[in-house]
Amino acid sequence: MSLFNLFKQAAAALSGERADIQRNPEAHADAIPVGTGADNEFHMQIDGIPNLFRDEGDRVVHFVAEFDYRIQHTAFGHKLLPEVVPRWSMVRTYDQPGVTPQGVAEEVVRNGRQEAAGDERKSAKSDRAAQAAAEAGSIASEPQAKPRAAEASSSNYTVGKLLEWGEMEFPNRKPGGKPTYTSFAVKLETSAGEKILQGEGLKDVLANTRCVLGERVGIRRLHKEKVPAFDQKTGRPIIDRETRQQKLWDRWVWSINRIH
C-alpha cells in the first residue's frame, strides 16, 4: 500500500469517527477514559456511592460507580466479592449554559433529598390511612397485618441503609489475647443511629443478593452452622491436636432482603 493511500484511509477513518461523535455525543463520553484523576473530574460520595462529574467545557457528564463481582480466594474458601476498582456508568449529560461539575453535583444531591422526602411523606400517609381504617373496625375480620419493615427491627433483625462493609477491627474480650481482632462486618444507618452487624456469613448473602451501598435493606440473623476452621493469616486448616481432625467453628447464617 502506498503512503498516499495510507494517509487517505486514515483521514477517512478520522472523518467517520468525528461524524459518529456528532451524531451520538453520549457514545463519545463513554469512549473517553473515566476515573483517571484528570483535572476536569470532580469526585463525590452521594449516599455512600461514588459519583464522578466530568467537565467537558460546554457540558458536564455525570457517572456513577458500579462494582462488578468476581470469585476471590479467602481464608474461608472461594467467595463472590465485589471488585475494588469501580466501573463507571454514565447517568446523564448536562449542557445548560454555565454548567459546572460542582453545580451538577449539588443538583443531584438536592433531587435525591426531594425524592427521599416524597417517599417518606407517601409512607406516612399510607400508615395514617391504615391506622384510621383499623380504628374504624374495617379490617377487624382480616388477619393482623405485618408491621412495616422499618418498624420490625429486633435483636435478630435490623433495618437500615447500607453505609459500609468489609473487614473491621473489634475489641477482643478474651483474656490473654490481642487487644483487637479483625472480622467481616456491615455498617447500617438505622432509625436509632448507626449499627454494626458482625459475621463472616454476611459476605455470602451480600454477594448473592448483589447489594450496593446506599440501599435500604433488612438483615436477619437466622441460626448458627458449623464451618471448617482456617488460620486467617496463612489460610491453612486448623487441626485439633487430640482428634487430628480439622476444627469446626460456629458461624451465623444471615438473610438479606431489599426494602423499596
**Structure confidence at residue 79 as a pLDDT band (50, 70, 90):** low
Q: Are residues 102 and 178 in the same domain?
A: no
Percentage of the chain modeled with pLDDT above 70: 68
Sign of the alpha-carbon dihedral angle for 22, 23, 27, 31: negative
Last residue of a domain, one of 136, 167, 191: 136
Place of cell 437466622: 222
Q: Are residues 164 and 132 in the same domain?
A: no
Q: Are residues 184 and 126 in the same domain?
A: no
- pLDDT for res 139: 46
Last residue of a domain, one of 70, 105, 136: 136
Q: Are residues 164 and 126 in the same domain?
A: no
Looking at per-residue pLDDT, the higher value among 115 and 220 belongs to 220
Q: Are residues 124 and 198 in the same domain?
A: no
Does 18 map to a domain? no
- pLDDT for res 189: 92
Does 23 map to a domain? no
Q: Are residues 101 and 172 in the same domain?
A: no
Q: Are residues 114 and 160 in the same domain?
A: no
Averaged pLDDT for residues 74-84: 65
Domain region containing 130: 36-136
- pLDDT for res 3: 44
Averaged pLDDT for residues 81-103: 84
pLDDT in tens, 139-167: 444 444 444 444 445 567 889 999 999 88
Q: Are residues 250 and 167 in the same domain?
A: yes
pLDDT in tens, 184-241: 899 999 888 899 998 888 888 888 888 889 989 899 888 888 878 777 677 788 888 8
Does 144 map to a domain? no
Q: Are residues 122 and 159 in the same domain?
A: no
Does 180 map to a domain? yes
Does 215 map to a domain? yes
The pTM of the full predicted model, rounded to 2 decimals, is: 0.38
Q: Are residues 121 and 166 in the same domain?
A: no
- Rounded Cα gap, residues 52 and 46, in angstroms: 10
pLDDT in tens, 12-21: 444 554 444 4
Last residue of a domain, one of 105, 136, 167: 136
In the predicted model, is pLDDT for residue 8 greater than 80?
A: no
Averaged pLDDT for residues 39-54: 85
Computed over every residue of the chain, the mean pLDDT equals: 75
Q: Are residues 130 and 41 in the same domain?
A: yes
Does 145 map to a domain? no
- Rounded Cα gap, residues 172 and 187, in angstroms: 19
Q: Are residues 166 and 126 in the same domain?
A: no
Does 71 map to a domain? yes
Q: How many domains does the chain have?
A: 2
Does 109 map to a domain? yes
- pLDDT for res 144: 46
